[in-house]
């Protein structure tokens, strides 16, 4: 995802969406069992966590620039 052009409000919105997606994935993973389900859930969670970290860094950069 090309997040370079997002403004602060868009970043905050994406962060909220990703956090909710992560919460749902963790709940789904806890309810399901099986190695293939666990692997898929772990990959999806890792991807969301990486995107979340990138968005948080962009947010920090934008908030520093506004000071």
* pLDDT, tens only, 4-37: 678 999 999 999 999 999 999 988 888 887 777 7
For residue 12, give every residue at least 6 positions away whose Cβ sits within 8 Å of its Cβ, in sequence order, or none. Answer: 59
Q: What is the pLDDT of residue 4?
A: 60
> Would you say residue 1 has pLDDT above 60?
no
Q: What is the pLDDT of residue 51?
A: 96
On whether the CB atoms of residues 18 and 51 are closer than 8 A, the answer is yes
Q: Domain map of the chain by residue range?
A: 8-65
Higher confidence at residue 2 or residue 11? 11
């Amino acid at each position: 995802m090309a997040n370079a052009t997002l403004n602060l409000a868009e970043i905050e919105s994406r962060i909220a969406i990703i956090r909710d997606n992560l919460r749902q994935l963790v709940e789904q993973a806890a309810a399901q069992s099986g190695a293939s389900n666990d692997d898929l859930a772990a990959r999806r969670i890792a991807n969301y966590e990486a995107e979340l970290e990138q968005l948080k860094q962009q947010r920090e950069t934008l908030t520093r620039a506004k000071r």
